[in-house]
Structure 1
Amino acid sequence: MKPYTLLAGIAALALAATGGQAQETPGARPIEQQIGAGGRPVGANWSRSPVIAEHGMAATAHPLATQIALDILKAGGSAVDAAIAANAALGLMEPTGNGIGGDLFAIVYDPATDKLHGINGSGRSPSGQTLAQLRAKLGDAEALPPVGPLPVTIPGTVDAWFAMHERFGKLPMSDVLAPTVRYAREGHPVAPVIAMYLERSLRSFEARQQTIPFDFTNARATWFADGSAPEAGEIFHNPDLAATLETIGREGRDAFYEGELAQVMVDYLQAQGSAYTLADFAAHDSEWVDPACALYRDGYELCELPPNSQGFAALQMVNILKHVDLAQWERGSPEAIHYITEAKRLAYADVARFYADPDFAALPAELLSEEYGRERFALIDPARATPEFGPGEPKLEGEGDTTYLTVVDGEGMMVSLIQSNYRGMGGGLTPDGLGFMFQDRGELYSLDPAHPNAYEPNKRPFQTIIPAFVKKDGKPWMTLGLMGGGMQPQGHVQVLINLVDYGMNLQEAGDASRINHDGGRQPTEPLTGPSADPLGTLFVEPGIPAATVERLRAMGHKVEVIDDGIMFGGYQAIARDPETGVLTGATEMRKDGQASGY
């Protein structure tokens, strides 16, 4: 790892903007008069200390969820028990990012077997609806809508909970879900960032109702009963969700997919025009999968889950960027940001072409090879942004909103878990009396029948949500996640670069300003024909120096400075010292979250 003195040039990455870095907001005071970050005795003055503990740790997007996870650990639960408990709590407390109407992916390190286990808890399309039948419902629309019954896919989270619990759980599921049942009935105070997202969600749903009619009645009654979103500090109750979780804890997985809860969901969906049947819900199951890893440098390996998720995009970026020494430049330099951006664009060109449900389309194994990464790296012009990158030709061998959490227990079990309803809070549909919203993940199907990600019956769509894991010198080292649609793979890689190339600690690696390249060909676009936005836009946070922004523009990038942090994700991480077992955790300023241990 590079000396800590390299941080001297990285202060420009602080999100608390200093003189001359950020574009002024109209009507704001001059930037040179704005107060900046305070001083620190150690480390960068734009970050805070990571959390260090020994016996157990959790990092989530809500302090109360973190405390629930720690309580479960202290009661004798495993890291998996604690992760499920925290995830259930976040579905209540952060409904703008996740819930049991969505999907789940996780990586679990099991110290008993010294092995990484991956679980794909994503749902499928209706088995009785063809692409032609779906197109007939869509009319003249060229893509699936973000709201209503058509983008709904089977919620996979609950089944994934029980699959993980069966293999790694210690406490009864009723005990694991009990804290959230209590908070849902008795109420909890809404956190500030979540309150902002609730207000944004309400405005978005009301705007969409003007053009795409859908049933918002139950959702409005659940979260916006008085016509407005809950404010920060307001006590929020969800008794319907309490009853749903209590039933799941008491009766198990089958209550959600085959029993009374399933019948309520199917009846409601069919009344909205959905093709789902009770048999579709009963047939759902999660899949245990093997994570793949790519060596970056200095012994650090990034590990991700395979498609239908986009995790391998991060591994492709790693295989490209290992061919340039980014540390020769400052982290806020145009050179470093240019290479990261071009590597992302190259990887995502392949994402749009090849990533899909592996039950329907084989992924070229060569995508993760060292040689392929070298070939893709050679396409980068060091001086200019390439106007358009196409996918490679590997040989075939047979704004979304999300929550990420991580838990490590005293025995060394490490859980990296991500869960989402996809866009916003989901598709707006809330089944009668159940207290959660269905996801709109089906919006990510392509309608081009030639595309690997084309809609088909009983098929999983392309997924954006990805948990990550990092090994160091072949040993398990760190859980890592970063929320936010297409931001996720590039966010994973940026955090890894901050740690490995620039010597940042876990907290600084997440607090440092990020970039988010958006655009290029998408997994929902037809395979042939021009891309709607081949160059895309490079969004940067205000901590990126103004001179760097101007230089990137001169290099041909379309750059925009965004100062609200929303599109740059939300980061959590826990590292475990393989010799001492000491845990180091981090969360970040862009969310309400907390890392804590004991």
Structure 2
Amino acid sequence: MTDSEAKTRGREPLPFQSRRSPVISMRGCAASTQPIASAIGTRILQQGGNAADAAVAMAAALNVTEPCSTGIGGDCFCLYFDATTKKVRGLNGSGRSAAATSLEHVRQLGHTGSKLPADHALCVTVPGAAAGWVDTVEAFGTMSLRQVLQPAIDLAEEGAPIHHITAHAWTGGARKLQRDDNPHGGALLMSNREAPSEGEVMVMKDLANTFKLLAEHGKAGFYEGRVAEAIVDCVQGHGGLLTLEDLKGHMSTFDDPISVTFKGKTVYEMPPNGQGITALLALNILKHVPDLHRLEHNSGPYLHRVIEALRLAFADSMWFVADPATEHVPITQLLSEEYGKARAQLIHPDGPTAPDVKRGNPFASTDTVYFTVVDAQGNACSFINSNYMGFGTGYVPKACGFTLQNRGHNFILQEGHPNCLAPRKRPYHTIIPAMATNIDDGSLYASFGVMGGFMQPQGHVQVLLNMLLFGMDPQRALDVPRFCIGPGHEGVDSDICVEDGVDEEAVSWLSRVGHPVSVTRGYSRALFGRGQIIQQVTRADSTGRARRVFIAGSDPRGDGCALPAV
């Protein structure tokens, strides 16, 4: 057997037979998809920064270690829990379409489908991450932006070793960077214009220079000047419409989180244009499923009920989720107890509700990195940053070192749809951070999230149920197999994918009652997302005194880990 054959045999099909214990700390934790980013988060905590400072430092570091998922050319959202006030605040760092955008223009270009092509420059909305980072530090942090970004600047200049899962994803997305019409794509490739392999070191000096401009000039260092001009030249050169005025006019918004109660917890998500409401809709339905708590974990009947709740939730969110600045989104009605109870009554205990489940009437007469930090004071930051679809469009602006996202692909090209393409509008957004607090005293229960496109609200629901219904610690809640309902939630008949490790009898039960189910293995487990959880608990010390302790987990489907601050 050759070395390469042995190497391949040792890594396929990623059987996930190992285990790890949760990380437990008293001085805070950081958890992400990359060990280096988690280490940078704990370094910021040890230097006196708080959870928000550490989260932004990790966001920038992840642009270096995992640009095939995230970066400053994408968008971000965050939830921040203030331990003093016990309030949860939200920041929406997603960008808007160009002012010149119109459905008529798109049709004239020959795009007749329901969505724009995913790799077209028309899909590039204003990248919101840079402003989101600055605003997070200014609103919630304690350090200067220069202090927060310096670790990522150093990492980009000196080079970062690439981990296994990331190398695999980078290789899968390299075609976008290698296209003839993408002359600056080589900034994210090795000298041979190939993706880095596991253990190879990626130096990204252009990206370091972009970070330096942001650190020195704040938002003007990105949305004006050299970087902004390079973005506009790149987008317009490939048929997009963004202008310097679109970039200069961008701003984040501070939005009140939306929430539902479930099993003694208040569960928070960001409001639309994000899809976090999908998770809340499903939880609001599941609280009215009377036998849910009596069913065995990941048994056929249990999975069926959760699957059906999520199908009903997606039927609503795929229509109603849109930019609330331009469309009315009936959040209060959708999340009402009455509506949740009515939707729960549609779930048949022994078979699918309907193959073509429709959105309801809520009135009384619709690739990414997630990471989280909790500091020693108990402040928590639940943060998510994404390009979308791996490298996004894959287009790299000259001398900038990052790719541009393709969030505009989620607009619907249908007149009258709430999420229809329009000027200066935010699209339906998949990336969603989450958080939960204890109803009795308002204290933090957990900061958590699961990345991965339309898997994200499904992951939120599954890992939270694992903890609240089955008493799992954060690591175990992330370890156990998950399911993903596929494009069926967009109105297309599709399989329900369950992860290898779900009991064969459960899979057979789902198939017998009418679910089109398949089992997913190996690298394809990426479908089920990669999550991070930090839970806050109270434990006694050896003297009998109550102490605050943080318990953290990191998803085995990624390269990352949770690390304690010391």
Q: Normalising by the residue count of structure 2, what TM-score does the alignment of the two structures yield?
A: 0.92
Q: 2-side partners of 1:140 and 1:519: how far apart?
A: 20
Q: 2-side partners of 1:363 and 1:402: how far apart?
A: 25
- Counterpart in the other structure of 1:85: 57
Q: Secondary structure at the match of 1:275?
A: coil
Q: 2-side partners of 1:228 and 1:49: how far apart?
A: 36
Q: Map 1:122-271 onto structure 2 (within 5 A).
A: 122-203=94-175, 215-271=181-237
Deviations 1:36-57 (A, max 9, x none): 94xxxxxxxx642110111121
| 1:411 to 2:377 alignment | yes
1:109–1:117: 8 Å Cα contact kept in structure 2?
yes
- Counterpart in the other structure of 1:544: 502
Q: Map 1:254-333 onto structure 2 (within 5 A).
A: 254-297=220-263, 299-324=264-289, 325-333=291-299
1:153–1:442: 8 Å Cα contact kept in structure 2?
yes
- Counterpart in the other structure of 2:479: 511
Give the aligned CA root-mean-square deviation in angstroms: 2.1
* Amino acid in the other structure paired with 2:488: G
Q: CA deviation at 1:427?
A: 0.4
* Amino acid in the other structure paired with 2:423: P
Of the candidates 511, 515, 518, which is equivalent to residue 560 of structure 1?
518
* Amino acid in the other structure paired with 1:112: T
Q: 1-side partners of 2:225 and 2:286: how far apart?
A: 50
Q: CA deviation at 1:134?
A: 2.1
Q: CA deviation at 1:484?
A: 0.3
Q: Secondary structure at the match of 1:113?
A: coil
Q: Secondary structure at the match of 1:363?
A: coil
- Counterpart in the other structure of 1:8: none
* Amino acid in the other structure paired with 1:596: L
| 1:445 to 2:380 alignment | no
1:317–1:347: 8 Å Cα contact kept in structure 2?
yes
Q: Map 1:19-34 onto structure 2 (within 5 A).
A: none
Q: CA deviation at 1:264?
A: 2.0
Q: 1-side partners of 2:537 and 2:496: how far apart?
A: 36
Q: CA deviation at 1:300?
A: 2.2
Deviations 1:125-161 (A, max 9, x none): 0002221112222444542011131110100011011
Deviations 1:391-415 (A, max 9, x none): 0011289xxx100010111122100
1:88–1:99: 8 Å Cα contact kept in structure 2?
yes
Q: 1:490 and 1:36, CA in 2 relative to 1: closer, same or farther beyond 3 A? A: closer
- Counterpart in the other structure of 2:435: 469
Q: 1:506 and 1:36, CA in 2 relative to 1: closer, same or farther beyond 3 A? A: closer
* Amino acid in the other structure paired with 1:60: S
Q: CA deviation at 1:361?
A: 1.3
* Amino acid in the other structure paired with 2:269: E
Q: CA deviation at 1:420?
A: 0.4
Deviations 1:179-215 (A, max 9, x none): 1111111111111110010011125766xx6xxxx73
Q: Normalising by the residue count of structure 1, what TM-score does the alignment of the two structures yield?
A: 0.87
Of the candidates 588, 594, 597, which is equivalent to residue 555 of structure 2?
588
Q: Bigger shift: 582-591 or 508-517?
A: 582-591
Unaligned stretches of 5+ residues in structure 2: 1-7, 539-545
Q: CA deviation at 1:307?
A: 0.3
1:349–1:520: 8 Å Cα contact kept in structure 2?
no
Q: CA deviation at 1:448?
A: 0.2
Q: Map 1:351-366 onto structure 2 (within 5 A).
A: 351-364=317-330, 365-366=332-333
Q: Secondary structure at the match of 1:423?
A: coil
Q: 1-side partners of 2:55 and 2:149: how far apart?
A: 11
Q: CA deviation at 1:287?
A: 0.4
Q: Secondary structure at the match of 2:349?
A: coil
* Amino acid in the other structure paired with 2:412: S
* Amino acid in the other structure paired with 1:447: L
Q: CA deviation at 1:101?
A: 0.4
Q: 1:372 and 1:142, CA in 2 relative to 1: closer, same or farther beyond 3 A? A: closer
Q: 2-side partners of 1:141 and 1:548: how far apart?
A: 38
Q: 2-side partners of 1:532 and 1:242: how far apart?
A: 43
Q: 2-side partners of 1:216 and 1:328: how far apart?
A: 55
1:465–1:488: 8 Å Cα contact kept in structure 2?
yes
* Amino acid in the other structure paired with 2:435: F
Q: 1:228 and 1:294, CA in 2 relative to 1: closer, same or farther beyond 3 A? A: same
* Amino acid in the other structure paired with 1:538: I
Q: 2-side partners of 1:306 and 1:131: how far apart?
A: 25
2:382–2:435: 8 Å Cα contact kept in structure 1?
yes
2:113–2:413: 8 Å Cα contact kept in structure 1?
no
Q: Secondary structure at the match of 1:101?
A: coil
Q: 1:77 and 1:580, CA in 2 relative to 1: closer, same or farther beyond 3 A? A: same
Q: CA deviation at 1:326?
A: 2.3
Q: CA deviation at 1:249?
A: 0.6
2:80–2:140: 8 Å Cα contact kept in structure 1?
no
Q: 2-side partners of 1:490 and 1:553: how far apart?
A: 20
- Counterpart in the other structure of 1:19: none
Q: CA deviation at 1:332?
A: 2.2
Deviations 1:63-97 (A, max 9, x none): 11111111111111111111100100001101111
Q: 2-side partners of 1:316 and 1:36: how far apart?
A: 31
* Amino acid in the other structure paired with 1:569: G
Deviations 1:482-519 (A, max 9, x none): 01011111111101111111111111000000000112
Q: 1:307 and 1:36, CA in 2 relative to 1: closer, same or farther beyond 3 A? A: closer
